[in-house]
Amino acid sequence: MDMPDYDKALYYTLWGQWDDLLVLMVRTEDDLLSKKIQLFLNAYHYSLDDKKVINSHDNLLYYLDHAMQYVPTEKIEI
């Protein structure tokens, strides 16, 4: 999983680019990210309950925030 996937997901989510978010959902190697995107897009397009849409949107943003805090450490050879 490359960090640009998280950056792209955040950008697409904040700017409402759902088609690009769908493509990212299919192409990403992060299964959790893919599932969070799927749940959000499904709620956005098919749910009549605004609370469900907002909750799935917030869950996606919380996951992105958590995932972007991880910074891989470099391996130092002595």
Is 74 contained in some domain? no
Q: Over the stretch 50-74, which tens digit does the pLDDT of each residue have?
A: 999 999 999 999 999 998 887 565 6
Is 35 contained in some domain? yes
The per-residue pLDDT for 69 is 86
Residue 38: what are its φ and ψ, rounded to 5°?
A: -60, -45
Q: What range defines the domain where residue 17 resides?
A: 3-68
The token pair that represents 8 in the structure block: 């792209």
pTM as predicted: 0.84
Give the largest Cα separation in the chain, rounded.
59
Calpha distance 37→23 (Å, rounded) = 10
The token pair that represents 57 in the structure block: 């949107």
Q: Over the stretch 27-54, which tens digit does the pLDDT of each residue have?
A: 999 999 999 999 999 999 999 999 999 9
Count structural domains, the chain. 1
- What DSSP state is assigned to residue 73? P
Is 51 contained in some domain? yes
